[in-house]
Amino acid sequence: MNETPQDATSTRFAQLKLAPATLHNLEQLGYTQMTPIQAASLPLTLAGQDLIAQASTGSGKTAAFGLPLIERLQTAGSPSAAIQAVVLCPTRELADQVTQEIRRLARARQNVKVVTLCGGVALRGQTVSLEHGADVVVGTPGRILDHLERGSLSLAGVNTLVLDEADRMLDMGFFDDIAKVVRQCAKDRQTLLFSATYPEGIAKLAAQFMRSPQTVKVEAQHSAHKIRQIYYEVSESQRLDAVSKLLAHFRPERTLAFCNTKQQCRDLVAVLQAQGYSALALFGELEQRERDQVLVQFANRSCSVLVATDVARVGWMSKGLKP
């Protein structure tokens, strides 16, 4: 196993060997400067190397594996096309987030179809989606294995396999399921493994299923005991656009945004949802059941952006609720 030292200097996406349309899409999304994990891993993965990347959640790892995955896609959108890429995730919530981000990153490519396969959703609907063709599958090991065993999914044409948050999948007891899924993928695929920690099972996975992987490691970029505060002055007309640009730039795992009125909350949520973010509004006039549902979705990461009024914030904190 070869190890590549982490270059702490962020570089621009424009320096990568990406298709011009992809670079233009990244610019539109506000992605100009790579995060450390992207700067360390993308030159390797775009060159076709297998990779073990150790980086925390929120470090920009989805783009780190999403961009090479998209670049390796061949003819996209044909109903008869084989599945070309698979991303295994530990939870349905993470799979949904990864699906949304891959779709955003792939906007420059025509007809790229991404299908999510997770538990908690009827198998029949997922089977119908697969029958209509898919280029990329994102899902949990158990549900993907279900489809493989039922014959509704074939991974023989996969050229990119991603194990996202591999340590969490191992903690949840998915090693055997992962192994069964990997064995059904094409042997000449590229395998990318992303993990926040490096437990013993990671080495075992790498030894069994990866080909001379490169290794990159990015240390946490901030202390858990420190809060960095930044403010930006913008005009009223720039307010909504500024929020979406900040989210695109910093790419936080979860975000709280506060507004003065419920209408401002609704306006911001509408803008964010239109851009592919999973955003929900919370304000004082919602029924208690509705407020509880919003908070549960934010707490379990089904929703990545919670837009709330100050009144709502005081209300939930007074009841000891934590988003």
* Contact call for residues 49 and 88 (beta carbons, < 8 A): no
Q: Which domains does the chain have, with CATH numbers?
A: 2-217 (3.40.50.300), 236-318 (3.40.50.300)
**What's the pLDDT tens digit per position in 229-253?**
888 999 988 999 999 889 988 888 8
Question: What's the pTM value of the predicted model, to 2 decimals?
Answer: 0.68
- Assign residue 276 a region (left: φ > 0; alpha: ψ between -120 and 50; beta: otherwise): left
Q: What local confidence, expressed as pLDDT, does residue 221 receive?
A: 56
Written in H, E and C, the secondary structure of the chain is CEECCCCCCCCEHHHCCCCHHHHHHHHHHCCCECCHHHHHHHHHHHCCCCEEEECCCCCCHHHHHHHHHHHCCCCCCCCCCCCCEEEECCCHHHHHHHHHHHHHHCCCCCCCCEEEECCCCCHHHHHHHHHCCCCEEEECHHHHHHHHHHCCCCCCCCCEEEECCHHHHHHCCCHHHHHHHHHCCCCCCEEEEEECCCCHHHHHHHHHHCCCCEEEECCCCCCCCCCCCCCCCCCHHHHHHHHHHHHHHHCCCCEEEEECCHHHHHHHHHHHHHCCCCEEEECCCCCHHHHHHHHHHHHCCCCCEEEEEHHHHHHHHHCCCCC
The predicted pLDDT at position 180 comes to 96
pLDDT beyond 50 at 311: yes
pLDDT, tens digit (0-9, with 9 covering 90-100), for 85-131: 999 999 888 898 899 999 999 998 888 999 999 987 889 999 999 99
Would you state the pLDDT for residue 319? 40
pLDDT digits (tens, 9 = 90+) for 48-81: 999 999 977 667 899 999 999 999 998 544 444 6
Q: In the β-sheet with 160-163, what is the strand arrangement from edge to edge?
A: 2-3, 214-217, 51-54, 190-195, 160-163, 85-88, 136-139, 114-117
pLDDT tens per residue, range 272-306: 999 888 999 988 777 767 877 888 788 777 788 99
Q: What is the pLDDT of residue 75?
A: 59
